[in-house]
Chain A
Amino acid sequence: DIQMTQSPASLSASLGETVTIECRASEDIYNGLAWYQQKPGKSPQLLIYNANSLHTGVPSRFSGSGSGTQYSLKINSLQSEDVASYFCQQYYNYPLTFGSGTKLEIK
């Protein structure tokens, strides 16, 4: 199974700041990586797919990058509505696996 190691587990940042969340795969996943946002009490929502493609309707302050085993999600100009948990997911191979999540709070 491909293990997804996500960091940090939690993050506190100020409004307007830029934050970065990392995800490392245990083997090359060839850009088969997605990022999701889950607001408290809600279902997850797709942000990024194919490592760096923005899903329809997602604000451009979200961006994804990376290749091989190392990937990251960047949020520019942090807004209050970005308070959420963020998860990465690899879909290169079965079983499909998620990172353990990053909880983002506003300082």
Chain B
Amino acid sequence: EVQLVESGEGLVQPGSSMKLSCVASGFTFSNYGMNWIRQAPKKGLEWIALIYYDSSSKYYADSVKGRFTISRDNSKNTLYLEMNSLRSEDTAMYYCAKSAYYGYNYFDYWGQGVMVTVSS
């Protein structure tokens, strides 16, 4: 059974940093691209970052480019999102999600999500 379990939830002040983790199980993690997607309270879904299976390529939404960094450790089956210079508009539920296949970046499995609140 595929499982994605995020951690790192919390309340932080504007301008600060935070790191999220997502531990994967039930599939060969090193074979698949992985993503972070967020959802502000009562809002829609926003894809924010993707990393290839081998970390050779990374893509970001303009809203987080230069502030957030996606990374992975295939030896630990873990995906990360380092978030710097956090703003109030970054307040959201953050989901990690698995890309279905190389070149087909729809999301066939999602984690339960972690809440990030940016507020003074």
The chain A residues found within 8 Å of chain B, CB to CB, are 32, 34, 36, 38, 43-46, 49-50, 55, 87, 89, 91, 94-101
The 21 sampled A-B contact pairs (Cβ below 8 Å) are: A34-B107, A36-B45, A36-B107, A43-B110, A43-B111, A43-B112, A44-B95, A44-B110, A45-B110, A46-B109, A49-B104, A49-B106, A49-B108, A87-B44, A91-B104, A95-B47, A95-B60, A95-B62, A96-B35, A98-B45, A98-B47
* Contact status A46-B47, CB under 8 Å: no
- Please tell me if the beta carbons of A46 and B106 are within 8 angstroms of each other in the complex: yes
Interface string of B57-83 (1 = CB under 8 A from A): 001111000000000000000000000
Interface range on chain B (Cβ under 8 Å from partner): 20 to 34
- A97/B104 contact (C-beta < 8 A), A43-B95, A43-B113 known: no
Judged by a CB distance under 8 angstroms, whether B51 is at the interface is: no
A91 near B110 with CB under 8 A, answer no
Q: Per-position contact with A for B99-120: 1 when CB-CB < 8 Å, else 0? A: 0100011111111110000000
**Taking the nearest CB of chain A, how far is it from the CB of B116, in angstroms?**
15
- Residues of the A chain whose Cβ atoms lie less than 8 Å from the Cβ of B110: 43-45
Residue positions of B touching A, CB distance < 8 A:
35, 44-47, 50, 59-62, 95, 100, 104-113
- A87 and B45 in contact (CB under 8 A), knowing A49-B100, A96-B50? yes
Ordered nearest first, which 7 A-B pairs have the shortest CB separation? A34-B106, A96-B47, A43-B110, A91-B105, A98-B45, A101-B44, A49-B106
The 8 Å CB contact of A91, one of B60, B106, B112, is B106
Whole-angstrom CA separation of A38 from B108 in the bound complex:
13
Which residues on the B side are within 8 Å of A46 (C-beta)? 106-109
- Nearest to A38 among chain B residues (CB) is B45
Q: Tell me the complex Cα distance, A89–B107, Å.
A: 9
List the A side residues contacting B113 at CB < 8 Å: 43
Name the distance in Å between A86's Cβ and chain B's nearest Cβ: 11
Q: Which residues from B are CB-within-8-Å of A98?
A: 44-47
| Cβ–Cβ < 8 Å partners of B46 in chain A | 98
